[in-house]
């Protein structure tokens, strides 16, 4: 029960995109159509969960015992970059269309600040292994949820007669802001 | 036996049928000239079989069908063919189509008709061929060659012959009058179709706002078994085959399938009458009943007219046009098309001629869609017209197709209820047209590809042949030299 | 300090080795299947209207992004849409030229057979000394016959409107 | 080949129009609004007029700037948005709340997206949430009912002063809504039954003699207006039913489990803007799903969110947040819940033809 609440909290209340404002680059970049955004969301979910777990292991079995906590960011990036490379190879092999539609954003998961930010927050909060994994999973699910919602909205916006000055990215940013406002309703739930 | 499942959606437009349905069918006087487009049916254009200047008799074959999916054209009256070439077509574009002009001699003399003694004794396929030779097409407006349907039906097991007398379009009452005045002939036609298809039963479906037609058909079908006359609720588009089948049998025709897939064959009451005329009397389809109505018509009524009669002549015999009509329509107000002028002729598929007045035609500028989803509620096909239109607007034809364009029957219920007055049907017409365009372009592309590959192969072959010939020549040239050399 | 360097070096080695192995197991063939796919879609008449010498050259130019998806007039909107979908690029429908057909002015045709030989799709029929004629369903409007004609009696023109080609217009409304 | 200007059918119409729909919704709101205005006196009247007028004015300016026909102003959608916003504001709120909210609703919530029908969020709820987040104090100061002509009710001039000059309300004149009171006092360790016994009475809450926004007062009149719209088929029944049933069921269940914390079904139904939200706001066609099943899901999810946020969230009133969140989900719902097309199954695949018909008849083989 406690873990379930923790998960819901990270997905909705402390949403990584709309509350922490992390990972806005892929959020804006890949949310034009529903299918790629779902793929991106799932890919990120995998990376973030694994990243959360492996960086916790790294933290507790390598960095802390050796007293080299100052290498945290560097080593996290190394691990995450490796994970993303692996994922890229897997997707390229398994689903070429998804690979093509994700395009440049796939390698960019490496630089998705949410992927780095989540383990760092996790380390700062002093989560245990299960919590760290759940935190990674929850954040990633939150990311995927918002991606999918936003992609749906943008598909609708593509059909609307938005004034020329606001068409495209501007209206997407406005919508993201308004969506963040809607998410504020979850404040205080957990 | 009949599970009266209700169809989804549909609308209840004001009927406006009272005035034209009150009067009997009048005969239209013979016009001086008849204009006969060569394509009055779905499928390939008919090929002329007579020359310009030829004298023809009433009922004589003028143009034959080149393929299975086509229908021949017969002379509606006797006279002389004075022209074969482009004539103004009853089509919204106002473009010309190939046709013939027949100058009537006023004698109205029939050609010798081949009248079968007892059609019930004849082979069903022969009867179907007779229907094809008579040029009968769907007279409800779909203009699909009737014989093609009959032959198709003969290949399937047909439980029910469904005679469509629902006539759901406002203003129109030609089937209503036909069923009232010639009920025996319609029932006879239905029994002939049953014979051709070896179907188990006949159902005659008539909307419940036509009690007189219902009574007449019930009386006429009394002597025969296996005929059921059912009243279906007055609802547009009840006359659409898919909706009527669902209403009467409770089954839905699979998407992309035909009504034969559920064991039903639907024919419009007017078509059934035309088939009866062809099989009993040997008469080809040269005349039909047309409703002339609308606020601008002096004396709205139903007229039996020869195919090819100019529209103006029909209005003249119905009291003339009182005012300049706001909209001149061929067919009903829901699915009919705009006529470019009153000079165009009546064709086989003309159910009605409407001269609508200013107050009868809605004229409001369209506003943006507010997604009220009334069109979704009204759609008898269960589609989402607003999504289809929104995607068509940005030329996302695949998206529109996915949201139901492929199933759309263009009935117009969505436009009828749209509070924003969006021309939804025109969006769909446009989208369907564009898809046709794409398809024909893709076909042409394939064809060209085949042609250029064939050409490349041919050129290579020719080249090889030339090279071989050259080599042979060379050998010939060198060989004698060799003979001399030793 | 030394520990840190060692740890990082070790991690780098491990990850690099792991990825190297993975790359071997998950290898995909490098050759781009897209070019073949696109070439199969093109008309194949090698007419050169796109500005590339033949359809396969155009296909590779398309894949590399050097050519616009609207570059093939014979393919028309249908082809442009398929290409845009395959390549994942937006389509500017306005950039597609309206299709044109060649037409031979019968009065001036001498029946020299030159256009007949030049046509890449065998769309011109005729015999020596007889008036030639263009088959509209095979003509791509490439204009090679124009260059070949010594009498200048061939012109390119959009197809004349007929009921078969008439389409409903897009509503002007909001 | 094609030609412009040739109209395709149909050449018949049921004569409905957008402005008629908007007019009917406004008429349906009228009784509840009139009652609210009577109850809260001149400041409320000022606020209502101001909100509606500034919404219409903002719409006019936007249409002019965007070069769209000013005729669109007549469709009444801007008036309705302003009106709905006014019904969710504290009745004695200062003028800048009204104007700012209207401008946010129309300018950002609606015209930025291309005007009527194009917005993805409900403009009125967007403005209310924005105001609530930006000005929590002003947005949660509720005047107690003080009907026109009652003793101590502000006159016309004083009403103008309250609306335009601002100033805090005297303690005797203000109070929290029942929902707010419940939330505050629960944190103080009081039990729900005592709190509600003190601050909530069912009948006045239903008939409309309780504090709150203009539209929260008389549940009865809101209900009547909504039923009228339902009868006219301007709104669909799925959303209100789904929403109200879900809230009532969840509240009743929670009340059964722990009556010390939860207020019960009738309390939730008659409190806050639930009825207004269910009948007038969530049913906004532009921002709700188009299929019946979609609307049911939308309504039920709205109801669920409302109950969750009311019970455990940090905002006492949840309708606006729930509606906004569900608005964002509408495109997904529309994608997943499509009406079943004729001749196809629910997943869009063609139905299978009856096997027996495709067999060639025995007779033909002979």
- Sort out which chain D residues have CB atoms less than 8 A from B325's CB and list them: none
Centroid of chain to Cα D275: 8
Peptide bond into B237 cis (omega under 30): yes
Q: How confident is the model at residue A105 (pLDDT cuts 50, 70, 90)?
A: low
Nearest CA distance, D191 vs chain B (angstrom): 44
Question: pLDDT: is D228 or A125 the higher one?
Answer: D228
Cβ neighbours for C174, distance < 8 A, ≥ 6 positions apart: A161, B366, B367, B368, B422
Do B256 and D350 make contact, defined as CB atoms within 8 angstroms? yes
CA nearest to C164, candidates C137, C139, C135, C140:
C137
- Sort out which chain A residues have CB atoms less than 8 A from D108's CB and list them: 174, 178
Over the stretch D261-292, which tens digit does the pLDDT of each residue have?
887 888 888 887 889 999 999 999 999 999 99
Do D21 and B415 make contact, defined as CB atoms within 8 angstroms? no
Model confidence at D169: pLDDT above 70: no
Question: What is the average per-residue pLDDT within C16-35?
Answer: 76
Q: Does residue A110 belong to the interface with chain C, where contact is any CB pair within 8 Å?
A: no
- Sort out which chain D residues have CB atoms less than 8 A from C166's CB and list them: 1-3
Mean pLDDT, chain B, rounded, equals: 89
Model confidence at D6: pLDDT above 60: yes
CA nearest to D234, candidates B424, B417, B380, B388:
B417
Q: How far apart are CA D302 and CA D285, in angstroms?
A: 15
- Sort out which chain B residues have CB atoms less than 8 A from D71's CB and list them: 365
- Own/partner contacts of C105-109, CB < 8 Å, gap of 24 or more, are C105/C153, C105/C154, C105/C155, C106/C131, C106/C133, C107/C153, C108/C151, C108/C152, C108/C153, C109/C151, C109/C153
Over the stretch C155-166, which tens digit does the pLDDT of each residue have?
888 877 788 888
Residue B484 has what pLDDT? 44
Do A159 and B390 make contact, defined as CB atoms within 8 angstroms? yes
Residue A169 has what pLDDT? 87
Burial code (b: 16+ CB inside 10 Å, e: under 16) for C116-129 equals: bebbbbbbbebeee
The answer to whether residues D114 and A163 touch, using CB atoms and an 8 Å cutoff, is: yes
In chain B, the percentage of residues whose pLDDT exceeds 90 is 51
CA nearest to A17, candidates A186, A139, A164:
A139
What chain D holds in terms of domains, given with CATH numbers, is: 18-336 (1.10.3430)
Nearest CA distance, B394 vs chain C (angstrom): 10
Do D324 and A163 make contact, defined as CB atoms within 8 angstroms? no
The answer to whether residues B232 and B208 touch, using CB atoms and an 8 Å cutoff, is: yes
As assigned by CATH, the class of the B18-105+114-288 domain is alpha beta
Nearest CA distance, C46 vs chain B (angstrom): 8
Q: Which of A29, A32, A71 should we substitute to test contact with C (largest number of C Cβ atoms within 10 Å)?
A: A71
Model confidence at C173: pLDDT above 70: no
Over the stretch D29-47, which tens digit does the pLDDT of each residue have?
999 999 888 888 888 899 9
Residue B141 has what pLDDT? 78
Nearest CA distance, D113 vs chain A (angstrom): 5
What chain C holds in terms of domains, given with CATH numbers, is: 33-95 (1.10.15.40), 100-158 (3.30.70.20)
CA separation (Å) from B346 to B71, B145, D10? 16, 17, 21
CA nearest to B323, candidates B289, B341, B345, B298:
B298
Q: Which of B371, B390, B392, B422 should we substitute to test contact with A (largest number of A Cβ atoms within 10 Å)?
A: B390
Question: pLDDT: is D248 or D347 the higher one?
Answer: D248
Q: Which of C159, C166, C169 should we substitute to test contact with D (largest number of D Cβ atoms within 10 Å)?
A: C169
Centroid of chain to Cα C130: 34
In a 3-state reduction of DSSP, which class is residue B203? strand
Q: How far apart are CA A22 and CA A180, in angstroms?
A: 12
- Sort out which chain D residues have CB atoms less than 8 A from A185's CB and list them: 129, 305, 309, 313, 315, 318, 320-322, 324-325
CA nearest to C55, candidates A39, B448, B323:
B448
Residue A104 has what pLDDT? 64
Over the stretch A36-74, which tens digit does the pLDDT of each residue have?
888 888 888 888 888 888 888 888 888 888 888 788 888
In chain C, the percentage of residues whose pLDDT exceeds 70 is 93
- Which regions of D6-90 does DSSP assign to beta strands (E)? none
- Sort out which chain A residues have CB atoms less than 8 A from C19's CB and list them: 82, 85-86, 89
CA separation (Å) from B399 to B384, B388, B438? 12, 7, 15
Q: Is residue B108 exposed (0-12), middle (13-18) or buried (19+ Cβ within 10 Å)?
A: middle
Model confidence at B4: pLDDT above 50: no
Cβ neighbours for D161, distance < 8 A, ≥ 6 positions apart: D154, D167
Residue A52 has what pLDDT? 87
Nearest CA distance, B370 vs chain A (angstrom): 11
Model confidence at C97: pLDDT above 90: no
Nearest CA distance, C100 vs chain D (angstrom): 12
- The tokens for D268 are 């939730």
Domain ranges of chain B: 18-105+114-288
Q: Is residue B484 exposed (0-12), middle (13-18) or buried (19+ Cβ within 10 Å)?
A: exposed
Residue B3 has what pLDDT? 44
DSSP letter assigned to residue B171: S
Phi, psi of D219 (to 5 degrees): -65, -35
Rg (C-alpha) for chain C, rounded Å, is 26
Cβ neighbours for A109, distance < 8 A, ≥ 6 positions apart: A26, A43, A44, A47, A84, A87, A115
Q: How far apart are CA C23 and CA C4, in angstroms?
A: 28
- The tokens for B187 are 């029932």
Binding partners of A (≥3 Cβ pairs within 8 A): B, C, D
Over the stretch D221-245, which tens digit does the pLDDT of each residue have?
899 999 999 999 999 999 999 999 9
In this prediction the ipTM stands at: 0.86
Over the stretch B237-288, which tens digit does the pLDDT of each residue have?
998 999 999 988 888 888 888 888 888 999 999 999 999 999 999 999 999 9
Q: How far apart are CA B117 and CA B474, in angstroms?
A: 78
Q: Is residue B222 exposed (0-12), middle (13-18) or buried (19+ Cβ within 10 Å)?
A: exposed
- Sort out which chain A residues have CB atoms less than 8 A from B393's CB and list them: 159
CA separation (Å) from B475 to B462, B463, B469? 20, 18, 10
Q: Does residue B99 belong to the interface with chain D, where contact is any CB pair within 8 Å?
A: no
The answer to whether residues B2 and B250 touch, using CB atoms and an 8 Å cutoff, is: yes
Binding partners of C (≥3 Cβ pairs within 8 A): A, B, D
The answer to whether residues B267 and B293 touch, using CB atoms and an 8 Å cutoff, is: no
Question: pLDDT: is D62 or D195 the higher one?
Answer: D62
Q: Is residue A120 exposed (0-12), middle (13-18) or buried (19+ Cβ within 10 Å)?
A: middle
Model confidence at B178: pLDDT above 90: yes
Do C3 and A75 make contact, defined as CB atoms within 8 angstroms? no
- Interior CA angle at B229 toward B228 and B234, to 5°? 140
Question: pTM for the full model?
Answer: 0.89
Mean pLDDT, chain A, rounded, equals: 85
Question: What is the average per-residue pLDDT within B373-384?
Answer: 92
Minimal-distance CA residue of chain B relative to D2: B93
Over the stretch B158-174, which tens digit does the pLDDT of each residue have?
889 999 999 899 999 99
Q: Does residue D9 belong to the interface with chain C, where contact is any CB pair within 8 Å?
A: no
């Amino acid at each position: 029960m406690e873990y379930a609440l923790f998960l819901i909290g990270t997905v909705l209340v402390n949403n990584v995109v709309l509350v922490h404002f992390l990972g806005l680059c892929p959020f804006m970049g890949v949310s034009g159509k529903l299918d790629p955004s779902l793929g991106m969301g799932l890919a990120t979910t995998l990376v973030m969960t694994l990243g959360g777990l492996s960086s916790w292991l790294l933290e507790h079995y390598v960095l802390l015992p050796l007293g080299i906590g100052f290498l945290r960011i560097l080593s996290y990036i190394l691990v995450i970059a490796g994970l993303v490379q692996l994922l890229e190879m897997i997707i390229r092999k398994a689903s070429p269309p998804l690979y093509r539609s994700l395009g440049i954003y796939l390698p960019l998961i490496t630089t998705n600040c949410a992927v780095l930010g989540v383990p760092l927050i996790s380390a700062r909060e002093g989560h245990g292994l299960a919590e760290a994994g759940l935190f990674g999973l929850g954040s990633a699910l939150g990311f995927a949820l918002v991606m999918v919602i936003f992609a749906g909205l943008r598909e609708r916006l593509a059909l609307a007669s938005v004034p020329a000055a606001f068409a495209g990215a501007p209206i997407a940013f406005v919508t993201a802001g308004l969506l963040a406002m809607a998410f504020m309703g979850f404040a205080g739930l957990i | 036996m009949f599970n009266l499942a209700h169809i989804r959606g549909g609308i209840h437009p004001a009927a406006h049928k009272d005035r034209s349905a009150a009067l009997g069918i009048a005969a239209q006087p013979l016009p001086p000239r008849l204009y006969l487009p060569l394509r009055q049916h779905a499928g390939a254009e008919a090929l002329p079989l007579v020359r310009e200047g030829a004298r023809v008799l009433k009922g004589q074959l003028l143009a034959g069908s080149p393929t299975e999916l086509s229908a021949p054209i017969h002379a509606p009256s006797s006279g002389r063919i004075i022209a074969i070439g482009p004539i103004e077509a009853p089509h919204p574009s106002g473009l010309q189509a190939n046709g013939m002009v027949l100058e009537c001699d006023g004698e109205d003399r029939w050609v010798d008709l081949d009248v079968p003694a007892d059609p019930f004794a004849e082979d069903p396929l022969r009867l179907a061929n007779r229907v094809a030779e008579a040029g009968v097409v769907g007279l409800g407006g779909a203009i699909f060659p009737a014989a093609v349907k009959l032959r198709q039906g003969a290949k399937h097991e047909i439980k029910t012959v469904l005679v469509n007398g629902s006539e759901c379009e406002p203003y129109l009452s030609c089937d209503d009058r036909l069923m009232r005045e010639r009920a025996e002939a319609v029932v006879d036609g239905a029994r002939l179709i049953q014979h051709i298809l070896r179907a188990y039963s006949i159902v005659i479906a008539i909307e419940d706002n036509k009690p007189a037609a219902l009574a007449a058909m019930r009386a006429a079908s009394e002597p025969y078994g296996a005929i059921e006359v059912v009243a279906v609720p007055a609802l547009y588009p009840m006359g659409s085959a898919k909706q009527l089948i669902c209403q009467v049998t409770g089954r839905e025709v699979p998407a992309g399938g035909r009504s034969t897939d559920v064991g039903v064959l639907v024919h419009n009451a007017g078509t059934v009458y035309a088939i009866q005329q062809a099989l009993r009397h040997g008469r080809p389809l040269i005349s039909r009943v047309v409703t002339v109505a609308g606020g601008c018509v002096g004396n709205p009524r139903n007229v039996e007219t020869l195919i090819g009669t100019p529209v103006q002549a029909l209005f003249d015999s119905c009291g003339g046009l009182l005012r300049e009509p706001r909209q001149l329509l061929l067919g009903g107000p829901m699915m009919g098309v705009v006529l470019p002028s009153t000079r165009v002729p009546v064709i086989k598929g003309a159910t009605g001629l409407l001269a609508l007045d200013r107050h009868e035609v809605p004229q409001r500028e369209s506003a943006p869609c507010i997604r009220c989803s009334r069109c979704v509620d009204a759609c008898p096909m269960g589609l989402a017209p607003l999504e289809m239109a929104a995607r068509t607007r940005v030329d996302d034809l695949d998206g529109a197709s996915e949201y139901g364009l492929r199933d759309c029957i263009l009935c117009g219920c969505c436009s009828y209820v749209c509070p924003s007055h969006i021309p939804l049907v025109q969006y769909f017409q446009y989208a369907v047209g564009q898809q046709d365009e794409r398809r024909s372009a893709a076909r042409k592309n394939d064809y060209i590809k085949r042609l250029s590959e064939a050409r490349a192969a041919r050129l290579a072959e020719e080249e090889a042949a030339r090279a071989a010939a050259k080599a042979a020549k060379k050998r010939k040239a060198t060989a004698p030299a060799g003979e001399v050399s030793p | 300090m030394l520990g840190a360097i060692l740890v990082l070096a070790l991690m780098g080695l491990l990850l690099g080795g792991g990825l190297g192995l993975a790359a071997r197991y998950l290898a995909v063939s490098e050759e781009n299947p897209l070019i073949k796919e696109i070439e199969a879609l093109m008309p194949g008449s090698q007419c050169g209207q796109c500005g590339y010498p033949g359809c396969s050259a155009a296909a590779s130019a398309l894949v590399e992004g050097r050519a616009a998806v609207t570059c093939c007039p014979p393919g028309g909107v249908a082809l442009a849409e398929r290409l845009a979908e395959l390549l994942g690029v937006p389509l500017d429908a306005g950039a597609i030229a309206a299709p044109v057909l060649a037409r031979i002015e019968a009065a001036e045709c001498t029946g020299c057979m030159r256009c007949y030989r030049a046509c890449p799709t065998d769309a011109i029929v005729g015999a020596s000394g007889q008036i030639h004629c263009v088959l509209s369903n095979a003509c791509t409007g490439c204009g090679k016959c124009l260059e070949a004609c010594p009498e200048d009696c061939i012109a390119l023109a959009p197809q004349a409107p007929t009921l078969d080609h008439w389409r409903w217009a897009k509503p002007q409304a909001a | 080949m094609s030609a412009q200007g040739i109209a395709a059918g149909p050449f018949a119409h049921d004569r409905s129009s957008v402005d008629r729909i908007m007019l009917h919704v406004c008429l349906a709101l009228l009784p509840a609004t009139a009652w609210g205005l009577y109850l809260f006196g001149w400041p409320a009247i000022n606020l209502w007029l101001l909100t509606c007028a500034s919404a219409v004015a903002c719409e006019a300016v936007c249409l002019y700037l965007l070069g769209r026909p000013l005729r669109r102003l007549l469709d009444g959608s801007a008036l309705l948005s302003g009106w709905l916003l006014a019904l969710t504001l504290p009745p004695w709120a200062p003028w800048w709340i009204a104007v700012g909210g209207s401008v946010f609703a129309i300018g950002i919530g609606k015209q930025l997206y291309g005007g009527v029908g194009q917005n993805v969020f409900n403009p009125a709820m967007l403005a209310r949430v924005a105001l609530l987040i930006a000005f929590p104090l002003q947005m949660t100061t509720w005047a107690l009912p003080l009907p026109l002509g009652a003793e101590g009710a502000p006159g016309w001039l004083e009403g103008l002063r309250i609306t335009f000059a601002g100033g805090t309300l005297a303690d005797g004149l203000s109070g929290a809504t029942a929902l707010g009171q419940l939330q505050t006092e629960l944190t103080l360790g009081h039990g729900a039954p005592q709190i509600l016994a003190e601050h909530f009475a069912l009948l006045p809450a239903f008939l409309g003699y309780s504090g709150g926004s203009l539209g929260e007062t008389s549940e009865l009149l809101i209900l009547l207006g909504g039923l009228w719209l339902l009868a006219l088929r301007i709104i669909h029944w799925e959303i209100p039913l789904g929403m109200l049933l879900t809230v009532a069921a969840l509240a009743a269940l929670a009340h059964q489990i722990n009556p010390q914390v939860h207020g019960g079904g009738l309390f939730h139904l008659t409190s806050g803007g639930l009825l207004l939200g269910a009948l007038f706001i969530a049913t906004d066609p532009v921002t709700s799903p188009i299929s019946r099943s979609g609307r049911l899901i939308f309504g039920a999810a709205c109801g669920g969110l409302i109950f969750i946020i009311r019970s455990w969230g940090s905002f006492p009133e949840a309708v606006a947040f729930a509606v906004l969140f569900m608005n964002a989900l509408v495109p997904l719902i529309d994608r997943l819940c499509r009406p079943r097309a004729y001749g196809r199954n629910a997943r869009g695949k063609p139905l299978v033809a009856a096997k027996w018909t495709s067999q060639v008849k025995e007779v033909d083989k002979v």
